[in-house]
């Protein structure tokens, strides 16, 4: 049995339209998945951002200082070497990353106190608290470009981000 000419023509049109829609959607979907892995016009690592913040670890000693941390996240798929990146507070205290490769879709907590650095936790080796009740954390890349900031305690808000 053969289909009528009109039926074959309609089927061919539907298949061609489906192929065009599929071809157009594929690059757009691939582009969306890759958006966090790209650099912006200034060459900054747009996938590296500040995550959560735990300020003012109550108590005394190293344990209290280690309960105070800022999370740095890699939202992209590719790993990024954080060597030379810095994290600063409003008062100018600065932590500089040294030889840390942050895998895609992972994070590291930067603790104020003393400890043994790992892939998930690094330590500033400080003896006093850094992050105040009202403060701003600023993350910069190895060229000094601001990647992200997080502020808390201002106007009653916590965790205000500006990327």
Distance CA 51, CA 31 (A): 24
pTM score: 0.68
Band of pLDDT at residue 31, cut at 50, 70 and 90: very low
Position 156 scores a pLDDT of 45
pLDDT of 61 > 90? The answer is: no
Q: Where are the beta strands (DSSP E) in the chain?
A: 48-54, 69-74, 80-81, 86-88, 94-96, 101-102, 106-111, 121-123, 135-140, 146-154, 157-162
Bridge-based pairing of strands 121-123 and 106-111 is parallel
pLDDT of 36 > 70? The answer is: no
Bridge-based pairing of strands 121-123 and 135-140 is unpaired
Band of pLDDT at residue 32, cut at 50, 70 and 90: very low
Most confident option among 13-17, 33-37, 137-141, 157-161: 137-141
| Average pLDDT of the segment spanning 76-86 | 97
């Amino acid at each position: 049995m053969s289909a009528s000419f009109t039926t074959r023509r309609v089927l061919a049109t539907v298949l061609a339209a489906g192929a065009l829609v599929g071809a157009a959607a594929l690059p757009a979907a691939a582009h969306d998945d890759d958006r966090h892995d790209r650099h912006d016009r200034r060459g900054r690592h747009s996938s590296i951002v500040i995550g959560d913040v735990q300020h003012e670890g109550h108590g005394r000693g190293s344990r209290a200082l280690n309960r105070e941390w800022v999370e740095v996240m890699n939202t992209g798929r590719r790993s990024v070497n954080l060597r030379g990146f810095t994290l600063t507070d409003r008062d100018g205290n600065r932590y500089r990353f040294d030889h840390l490769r942050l895998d895609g879709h992972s994070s590291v907590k930067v603790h104020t106190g003393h400890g043994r650095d790992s892939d998930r936790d690094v330590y500033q080796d400080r003896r006093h608290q850094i992050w105040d009740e009202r403060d701003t954390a600023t993350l910069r890349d190895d060229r000094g470009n601001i990647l992200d900031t997080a502020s808390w305690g201002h106007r009653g808000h916590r965790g205000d981000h500006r990327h």
